[in-house]
Amino acid sequence: MSAPDPQPARRLKILVVEDDRPTLLLLTACIARMGHEARTAVNGLEAVKAVAEERPDIVIADLMMPVMDGLEATKRIKNLAGGQWLPVLVLTAKDEDRALVGALDCGADDYLVKPVGFPLLAAKVRGLAHMIELQRQLHDRSRELAAYRDGEERDTGVAVHVMSRLVNRDLLNDPALRHWICPARRFSGDLIAAARTPAGALHVLLADAAGHGLSAALNALPVAQCFYSMTAKGFAIGGIAEEMNRKIRHLLPIERFVAATLIAVDFRQQWVGVWNGGNPTLVALGAGGELLFAAPSRHLPLGLAADHLFTDGIDTYRYDEPCQLIACSDGLVEMPGAGGGMLGPEGLVSLLRAAAPEARLESVQACVRSAATVASPTDDISVAIVECGSLADASRAAALATGKVVRAEPGARQISLSAEELKYVVVAPLLLDLVRGVAGAEHHREKVFLILSELFNNALDHGLLRLDSRIKLEAGGFERYLELRSRGLERLAEAAIDIRIEIVRVSERPMLRIVFKDSGCGFDYANLLQAPPPATAPYGHGIPLLRKLCHSVEYRGSGSEAAVLYDLARSEAEG
Amino acid sequence: MHVNLRNTENTAVISLSGRFDFNVHRDFKRCSEAALQDGAGRAIEVDLGAVEYLDSSALGMLLLLREQAEVKRRSVALVNCRGPVKQILEVANFGRLFTIR
């Protein structure tokens, strides 16, 4: 007799199913000798009941049995076992090949030919025990992983919450901007930000931080903060880019750069400025899809240029007709396009030109979604569309102003802006809407818009906020003026500007009559008209400009009411 | 993606083929370190002729190599750049940081 058998690592419960009593007793003894616990059943039906009551670790079953044979029992036992593996070892007589194949097909894991020798049985049981152990470890690790992932999900949820507060996504409601970001993972390394300068110019930032996911999103944060605070102070985009470059360079490791497109739009002057470092070319498209202007990447992405090597050159463009600026990150351009390969910059422009202006964003989204059915995107995709001087934009902004534009009489339009509205309403599109609403003024749109802007700025800056233009003469004067204006506007309460515009006939000539009334206490207009500031001063050009453009300019009362007449019959040639 | 280093008389050439992305990180680092440890102080060239595509992490790896090389006063050039690789380097204006040919 050999040395006592080594005890197994774990005592298993083994169910033995055998109708022949001596064999059953022998098997039970073998199992006990192996150090495991034996349970018994004399046919398949009993076996299935036993498994249902108390799940064993292994089942050893004879194939040929009355009531229910091993084959049927194996099937049912495997069914009961469900997701977790319950090994079944079948015992077969020498010439039962067909039955054996059947059992193996039903899920039996191994077999032994009777008469069963102890060494072989023990070896097979050891093998099965080992596999059971491996399976158990795998199951535990799965559970650990699931728990870890749940923890991660919770932490990520918190991070998303914090990020959205910091990046201030509510500021992206500017009527002139439409945008879309499609992150490759939960966090986007792409960021779009928009804000207005105190003067009402629109700044838009589209940034693509290297990499993607949470770490890339974190890299984009200092860029966003810088953008918002400097825009609020009225800095130009070249200066903002320079500061962002410095910040990234000093804050992050070299490989964490940020490709960025900065856009400035002055709706009043109909002027666009672009700084593009590392992003695909920005394009300006007309209503019919004409390519009006392109601003390719001329600079290193943010964070790479040493301070003295930083380049701040801006590409500029003046637009005469409504157009759209479209900027995007490389994720869009590198997306798979029709017919293999990438969409590419030309592919993107074709796609945009083929769509009507109001449907361009949807067209891009549809393209991205259909590409995603083929292969999931590997890079964040972001796109921003800025409306310059479009009528669609004007009506959206008018809606923002709570629809207070009133038709006083046929041909007359009136609007009253309260202090609250003056703070939040974006004025340029509103004025455009006013002009549009007056039939007969179509050909004079630009000039009338200019007149309205001048009158508005005078009413607000001087009438209500009492700002002194001479501040602009001092060093740093413009910045200070803008700052004062911003603060004054913030503090404004109990104030209003009323605007009325209508067509009248003066000596048989059709004229546009525009009246601005502000609730301030007026100014010494008589003095200003008598002794205007020198032509070289950086201020005071408003009233002379008005006088040049208008048939007449009149101030009434204390100066808080201005009325101008614009000659609609004058030809374009008169300038 | 294969990365290997070979030395000629004057240059240490790191050549890559296939997709140059984050998966290449370890191999690229290994070759970069070997090239930088070169006692003879050879100029370093990164041969991108067989590279189909590079992403921002590849650009990051090149920037790191450049930074480390600068410390040892070694030059880094990107050679055999064509097609999509050339375009990506152009959009990123990397010509201002590397000699590209």
Q: Alpha-carbon distance A59 to A47, whole Å?
A: 9
The predicted pLDDT at position A533 comes to 64
Mean pLDDT over A368-380 rounds to 83
More confident residue, B70 or A525: B70
The angle subtended at Cα A424 by Cα A423 and Cα A428, nearest 5°, is: 100
pLDDT at A398 over 60: no
ipTM of the complex: 0.91
Determine the Cα–Cα distance for residues A462 and A464; give it in Å rounded to an integer: 6
Confidence of residue A379 (pLDDT cuts 50, 70, 90): confident
Cβ-Cβ contacts under 8 Å, A278 against chain B: 91-93
Going by the DSSP 8-state scheme, the letter that residue A43 receives in this structure is S
Statement: residue A101 has pLDDT above 50 = yes
pLDDT at residue A163, rounded to an integer: 66
Residue type, A320: D
Whether A403 has a pLDDT exceeding 70, the answer reads no
Q: How far is A119 from A196, CA to CA, in rounded Å? A: 85
For residue A262, give the nearest of A307, A207, A313 by alpha carbon: A207
pTM of this prediction exceeds 0.80: no
Give mean pLDDT, residues A87-114. Answer: 87
User: Greatest CA separation found in chain A?
Assistant: 134
Split at pLDDT 50, 70, 90, the class of A391 is: very low
Give yes or no for B96 touching A (CB within 8 A): yes
With an 8 Å Cβ cutoff, is B56 touching chain A? Answer: yes
The answer to whether the Cβ–Cβ distance between B63 and A257 falls below 8 Å is yes
pLDDT digits (tens, 9 = 90+) for B25-80: 899 999 999 999 977 788 999 999 999 888 888 999 999 999 999 999 899 999 99
Residues of chain A contacting B86 with CB distance shorter than 8 Å: none
For residue A374, is pLDDT > 90? no
In this complex, the residue of B56, B91, B96 whose CB is nearest that of residue A210 is B56
Q: Distance between CA A448 and CA A452 in Å, rounded? A: 6
Mean pLDDT score, A356-375: 87
Is the pLDDT score of A170 beyond 70?
Answer: no
For residue A467, which of A453, A477, A455, A481 has the smallest C-alpha distance? A481
With contact defined as beta carbons under 8 Å apart, do A209 and A216 qualify? yes
Detail the DSSP E strand segments found in A197-249. 202-209
Q: How far is A305 from chain B (nearest CA, A)?
A: 9
Asked if pLDDT for residue A418 goes beyond 70, the answer is yes
Instruction: Tell me how far CA of residue A482 lies from CA of A372, A380, A476, A497, B29, in angstroms.
Output: 46, 36, 10, 20, 51
Within A385-457, residue ranges assigned H as helices are: 391-400, 419-424, 427-437, 445-457
Percent of chain A with pLDDT over 90: 29
Would you call A331 an interface residue with chain B, using a CB distance cutoff of 8 Å? no
- What pLDDT does A285 receive? 93
Least confident of A306-310, A429-433, A502-506, B69-73: A429-433
At A477-489, the pLDDT tens digits run 666 777 788 788 8
By Cβ distance, the residue of A298, A299, A304 closest to B97 is A304
Using a CB-CB cut-off of 8 Å, the residues of chain A touching B56 are 208, 210-211, 257, 259
Lowest mean pLDDT among A102-111, A257-266, A408-417: A408-417
C-alpha closest to that of A221 among A295, A154, A159: A159
For A534, which DSSP code?
P
Which residue of chain B comes nearest to A189, CA vs CA?
Answer: B56
Confidence of residue A2 (pLDDT cuts 50, 70, 90): low
Candidate from A255, A305, A330 with C-beta closest to B60 = A255
pLDDT exceeds 50 at position A392: no
Contact: B96, A298; criterion CB under 8 Å = no
Please report the pLDDT score of residue A355 as a whole number: 87
At A198 the pLDDT is 75
Q: What pLDDT is stored for residue A187 in this prediction?
A: 74
Which tokens go with A512? 């546009």
Please state, rounded to an integer, the average pLDDT across all residues of chain A.
Answer: 83
Please tell me whether residue A161 adopts helix, strand or coil conformation: helix
Q: Which amino acid is at A391?
A: L
